[in-house]
């Protein structure tokens, strides 16, 4: 009975987006209200106890896991959302561990700094880079207070371009489609007029030159068809160029596996923006739209600068292992590119993109898996250590803060269903995400972040939250 009652609360109000009234209704339909008080007041008290216990569990586990955690350098993704209170969110993207999720007075640099200091207190982790939009508060917080590097978020760059040019090009395509439909109707009308004239009784005078009218209408239809093809081509080129910004924003060439430098990354990004400008040159783009594209283009130097920072950080970590020259060459030519491309493949939506990148990853890693590969010179335990470091390095370059955007969307849905999210409720939702939600491999964000097995959150609730009270005796109808 205890397990059933707490499971109903936990699943409906913490894993799901329901409230206490749905828990009441579940108790009534299931017949548990005969044994457990199902009034709103009684279940509200239990809900508060559960949320407080969840927050206490996170506090205890975080302290325990921090003690056994090896010091490490991390990258974070940061953004704000509004409920309408300002909620600051920071996530370590490799493990998907929510470091920070709480309300603040605002989103100034001082607000971010104080919140991050509290979130990182006691954790042996140093933030070396943050991926976010170009908000001034975050920029100052990262560069001045954290002393870390800021990497532009490619999602916001792409969104600026689409906001500027996506709608105008779509309008041009829609206008061209209507013009083609109109021209097609004109051709049919001219042909019909000729047939009707031929079927009617002979009339005095010279007959109209229907062939010329039909020919002119067909020429206009052909011009409209070419205009539609040009509009659709421009729209497709824009989409491909915007998608190409994300493809170019990588420290490793996804096609060849070669390491990129800042110049190569900047050239690839500039090429994509040139394609964008070419695709919108024929569109009637407003001045505000052109300014948006230029605003997005301004971050290209910062995007390119993130590439050498990644390489220098990785090189320092690999050199700290003191591998022989042949092994170091194999790491940078095969192991690191193969692992990085494998991670990128896992984030692709289209199956053909995933298959293509996974094939390239296997091709790069194959020479290291042969019995006569360069790793044969190492002791048995050394290849595993090198691979672990390279796995960690592959996650240091985060071009997008999509994990934060997704989390903000989840919080927005929670707030929409409950009308508001209190501080206690928000902390409980964060703890459930970090310590209960699992991937297919059975790991939670906390176990991946701290590198240790975490406790069982629900068993902790069973041990620390009492069974709700028994229902009151029902009075007689008399």
**284 and 203 part of one domain:** yes
**413 and 357 part of one domain:** no
Structural domain ending residue among the three candidates 251, 281, 297 = 297
Cα(36)–Cα(362) distance, rounded to whole angstroms? 57
Instruction: With a cut of 70, say whether residue 182 has pLDDT above it.
Output: yes
The DSSP code sequence of 351-380 is: HHHHHHHHHHHHHHHHHHHSTTSGGGGS-T
CATH of residue 127: 3.30.420.10
Taking a C-beta distance cutoff of 8 angstroms, is the pair 397, 308 a contact? no
Cα(449)–Cα(61) distance, rounded to whole angstroms? 13
Cα distance between the two ends of the chain = 32
Nearest CA to 74 out of 430, 313, 251, 386 is that of 313
Most distant CA atoms of the chain, gap in Å: 106
**333 and 389 part of one domain:** yes
Structural domain ending residue among the three candidates 264, 297, 330 = 297
In a domain, 311, yes or no: no
Write out the residue range of the structural domain in which residue 378 sits: 321-394
Dihedrals phi, psi of 129, to nearest 5 degrees: -155, 145
pLDDT of residue 478: 57
Q: In which residue are the tokens 């990644």 written?
A: 310
Taking a C-beta distance cutoff of 8 angstroms, is the pair 415, 83 a contact? yes
List CB contacts of 321: < 8 A, sequence separation 6 or more.
385, 386, 389
List CB contacts of 300: < 8 A, sequence separation 6 or more.
266, 269, 270, 273
**178 and 292 part of one domain:** yes
Instruction: With a cut of 80, say whether residue 193 has pLDDT above it.
Output: yes
pLDDT of residue 477: 66
In a domain, 146, yes or no: yes
**328 and 194 part of one domain:** no
pLDDT digits (tens, 9 = 90+) for 310-366: 999 999 988 888 888 888 888 899 899 999 999 999 888 889 989 999 999 999 988
**125 and 195 part of one domain:** no
**100 and 145 part of one domain:** yes
**292 and 370 part of one domain:** no
How many Cα atoms within 13 Å fall on the side-chain side of residue 375? 18
In a domain, 432, yes or no: yes
**78 and 112 part of one domain:** yes
In a domain, 308, yes or no: no
Instruction: With a cut of 90, say whether residue 462 has pLDDT above it.
Output: yes
Q: Which residues of 228-250 are buried (b: 16+ CB within 10 A; e: fewer)?
A: beebeebbebbeebbebbbbbbb
In a domain, 310, yes or no: no
In a domain, 309, yes or no: no
pLDDT of residue 373: 73
pLDDT digits (tens, 9 = 90+) for 27-50: 999 988 888 888 888 899 999 999
Mean pLDDT of the chain: 89
Query: Is residue 315 exposed (0-12), middle (13-18) or buried (19+ Cβ within 10 Å)?
Result: middle
pLDDT of residue 36: 87
Q: Strands 72-82, 86-92: parallel, antiparallel or unpaired by DSSP? A: antiparallel
Q: In the predicted model, what is the mean pLDDT of residues 5-15? A: 92
Structural domain ending residue among the three candidates 347, 379, 394 = 394
In a domain, 305, yes or no: no
For residue 185, count other CB atoms closer than 10 A to its CB. 12
Q: In the predicted model, what is the mean pLDDT of residues 230-241? A: 89
Query: Based on the structure, what is the number of domains in the chain?
Result: 4
Q: In the predicted model, what is the mean pLDDT of residues 104-120? A: 93
Query: Is residue 414 exposed (0-12), middle (13-18) or buried (19+ Cβ within 10 Å)?
Result: middle
**185 and 250 part of one domain:** yes
**160 and 291 part of one domain:** yes
Cα(289)–Cα(283) distance, rounded to whole angstroms? 11
**191 and 287 part of one domain:** yes
Strand partners, 151: 131
In a domain, 306, yes or no: no
């Amino acid at each position: 009975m205890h397990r059933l009652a707490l499971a109903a609360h936990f699943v409906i109000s913490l894993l799901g987006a329901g409230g206490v009234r749905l828990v009441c209704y579940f108790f009534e339909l299931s017949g548990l209200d005969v044994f457990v008080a199902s009034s709103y007041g009684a279940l509200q008290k239990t809900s508060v106890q559960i949320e407080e216990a969840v927050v206490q569990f996170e506090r205890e586990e975080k302290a325990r896991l921090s003690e056994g955690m090896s010091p490490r350098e991390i990258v974070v993704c940061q953004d704000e959302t509004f409920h309408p209170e300002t909620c600051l969110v920071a996530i370590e993207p490799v493990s998907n561990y929510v470091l920070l999720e709480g309300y603040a007075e605002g989103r100034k640099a001082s607000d971010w700094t104080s919140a991050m200091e509290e979130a990182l207190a006691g954790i042996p982790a140093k933030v070396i880079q943050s991926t976010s939009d170009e908000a001034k508060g975050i920029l100052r917080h990262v560069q001045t207070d954290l002393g870390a590097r800021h990497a532009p978020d490619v999602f916001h760059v792409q969104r600026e371009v689409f906001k500027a040019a996506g709608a105008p090009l779509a309008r041009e395509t829609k206008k061209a489609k209507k013009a083609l439909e109109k021209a097609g109707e004109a051709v049919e009308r001219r042909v019909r007029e000729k047939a009707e004239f031929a079927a009617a009784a002979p009339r005095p005078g010279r007959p109209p030159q229907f062939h010329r009218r039909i020919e002119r209408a067909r020429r206009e239809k052909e011009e409209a068809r070419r205009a539609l093809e040009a509009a659709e081509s421009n729209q497709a080129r824009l989409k491909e160029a915007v998608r190409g910004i994300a493809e170019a924003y990588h420290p490793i060439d996804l096609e060849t596996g070669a390491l990129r430098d800042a110049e190569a990354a900047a050239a690839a990004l500039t090429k994509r923006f040139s394609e964008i400008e070419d695709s919108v040159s024929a569109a009637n783009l407003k001045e505000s739209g052109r300014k948006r594209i230029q605003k997005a283009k301004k971050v290209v130097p910062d995007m390119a600068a993130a590439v050498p920072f990644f390489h220098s950080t990785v090189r320092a970590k690999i050199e700290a292992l003191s591998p022989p020259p042949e092994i170091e060459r194999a790491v940078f030519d095969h192991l690191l590119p193969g692992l990085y491309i494998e991670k990128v493949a896992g984030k692709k939506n289209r199956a053909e993109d995933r298959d293509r990148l996974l094939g390239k990853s296997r091709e790069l890693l194959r020479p290291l898996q042969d019995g006569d590969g360069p790793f044969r010179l190492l002791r048995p335990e050394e290849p595993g250590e090198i691979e672990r470091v390279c796995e960690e390095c592959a996650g240091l370059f985060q071009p997008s803060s999509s994990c934060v955007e997704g989390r903000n969307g989840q919080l927005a849905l929670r707030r929409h269903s409950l009308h508001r999210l209190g501080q206690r409720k928000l902390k409980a939702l964060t703890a459930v995400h970090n310590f209960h939600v699992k991937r297919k491999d059975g790991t939670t964000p906390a176990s991946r972040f701290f590198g240790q097995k975490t406790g069982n959150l629900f068993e902790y609730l069973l041990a620390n939250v009492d069974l709700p009270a028994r229902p009151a005796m029902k009075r007689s109808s008399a």
